[in-house]
C-alpha cells in the first residue's frame, strides 16, 4: 500500500510517496497556494491520493523545540482533521522538528544553488518525514516477526 508524506507550510505543501512495500520514500513535488488556503492544499492532496492509490497519510507536526504545540502545529492539526473527514484515510502525525534544516543541509552539501534549494526544500522535508515513519514502522514489524518466530 502507498503512503503519502506531507510537509505543510503557510504557502506550500511538500509531498513524498512510498513504494507499495512501504520501504522507500520518494519526493513528488511542492504545491504552492495562497497563504493559509487549506482548501487549495486539500484539493491538491486529494488529487494526489486518487492518482496514486494512497491508503495512508503521514503529516509532519512542527512542534516547538521544547515539545509544545504552537500556532503552526495547530494549523497542521486542523489540516489533519480536514484530511480525515473528507478522505476517510488514516492520518498519522510525525514530529518534524528540524526536518527542513536537515533537507537544507543535505542540499547545501550537494552544492545545490540557493534558488534550487528554495524550490525543493519542502518536498525533501516531506521525504524525510515519510522515510522516518517508514523506518520506524519497519523496525517495529521486524521486531514483531522476530518475537513471533523465536
pLDDT value for 81: 98
Cell of 103: 533537507
pLDDT value for 120: 62
Cα–Cα distance, 101 to 89 (Å, whole number): 29
| SS3 state at 35 | coil
Whether pLDDT at 38 is above 90: yes
pLDDT value for 79: 98
Q: DSSP code of 18?
A: E
Residue 92: name the closest of 77, 102, 103, 70 by CA.
77
Cα–Cα distance, 57 to 17 (Å, whole number): 9
* Helix boundaries (H) for 8-113: 38-52, 71-87, 99-109
Look up the CATH number of domain 2-148: 3.30.420.140
| SS3 state at 138 | helix
Q: Could you report the per-residue pLDDT of 98-143, keeping only the tens digit for each?
A: 566 665 566 556 655 566 555 667 888 899 899 989 998 877 666 6
pLDDT value for 56: 98
pLDDT value for 97: 63
Strand 54-61 relative to strand 90-95: parallel, antiparallel, unpaired?
Answer: parallel
Q: Where are the domains of the chain?
A: 2-148
Q: pTM here?
A: 0.82
**Mean pLDDT, residues 50-59 taken together:** 97
Cα–Cα distance, 110 to 97 (Å, whole number): 22
**Exposure class string for 97-120: b at 16+ Cβ within 10 A, else e:** eebbebbbebbeeeebeeeebeeb
**Mean pLDDT, residues 33-58 taken together:** 97
Could you tell me what percent of the chain has a pLDDT over 90?
A: 60
pLDDT value for 118: 59
Amino acid at each position: 500500500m502507498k503512503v503519502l508524506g506531507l510537509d505543510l507550510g503557510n504557502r506550500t505543501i511538500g509531498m513524498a510517496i512510498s513504494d507499495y512495500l512501504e520501504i522507500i520514500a520518494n519526493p513528488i513535488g511542492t504545491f504552492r497556494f495562497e497563504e493559509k488556503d487549506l482548501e487549495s492544499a486539500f484539493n491538491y492532496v486529494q488529487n494526489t491520493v486518487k492518482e496514486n492509490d494512497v491508503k495512508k497519510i503521514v503529516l509532519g507536526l512542527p512542534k516547538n523545540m521544547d515539545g509544545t504545540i504552537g500556532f503552526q502545529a495547530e494549523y497542521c492539526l486542523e489540516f489533519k482533521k480536514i484530511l480525515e473527514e473528507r478522505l476517510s484515510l488514516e492520518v498519522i502525525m510525525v514530529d518534524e522538528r528540524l526536518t527542513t534544516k536537515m533537507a537544507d543541509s543535505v542540499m547545501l552539501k550537494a552544492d545545490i544553488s540557493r534558488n534550487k534549494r528554495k524550490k525543493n526544500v519542502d518536498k525533501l522535508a516531506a521525504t524525510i518525514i515519510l522515510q522516518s515513519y517508514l523506518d520506524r514502522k519497519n523496525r517495529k514489524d521486524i521486531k514483531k516477526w522476530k518475537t513471533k518466530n523465536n
